[in-house]
Amino acid sequence: MNLPVTFGTKDNYRTKNICFEVADFETTYHAIIGRPTLAKFMVVPHYTYLMVKMPEPHGVITLRSDIKQTFSCEAKSCEIAQQAEEQAGREQICEASTRKTEDDDLPSKKAANITSNEKKQIALDPTDLSKFTFIGTQLDSK
């Protein structure tokens, strides 16, 4: 979708047609201006100062952001991302629980296949082979 975008004041402004892609997802920002737009306006971003500057016929146009609003948007974006990640995790669990393959045995069946003498030696330090432990189903308390 092409829309005219204007930066500046009535005395010193610049307008360009910018192509926006509309995405249906939740975000704290109404629009994200990418590198092609910044290049079109010849913008110099100053991320530390939350400011952009661009050359114009009657001087430089400076756009400043509000640190409190920026922090609020960032916090809300993190919250939205966390909710999306939790939802994806729940969906993955539901999908895994409904899908059953031949390799999926109940834990009790897997434990029944292990002999009582079976144990495995695990190195605690790969550089010192004298440091090791055992794992298994029937180990003594020592």
Whole-number percent of the chain with pLDDT over 90: 6
Return d(Cα 17, Cα 3) in angstroms, integer. 5
pTM: 0.46
Task: State the pLDDT at residue 103.
Answer: 52
User: Where does the pLDDT of residue 123 fall: very low under 50, low under 70, confident under 90, or very high at 90 and above?
Assistant: confident
User: Where does the pLDDT of residue 101 fall: very low under 50, low under 70, confident under 90, or very high at 90 and above?
Assistant: low
Return d(Cα 27, Cα 30) in angstroms, integer. 7
135 pLDDT higher than 70: yes
Residue 119 vs residues 50, 107, 114, 135: alpha-carbon distances, Å: 60, 18, 9, 6
- Mean pLDDT, rounded, of the chain: 80
Q: Which residues contact 54 (CB under 8 A, 6 or more apart)?
A: 7, 14, 41, 42, 43, 44, 60, 61
Q: What is the pLDDT averaged over residues 115-124?
A: 73
User: Where does the pLDDT of residue 53 fall: very low under 50, low under 70, confident under 90, or very high at 90 and above?
Assistant: very high
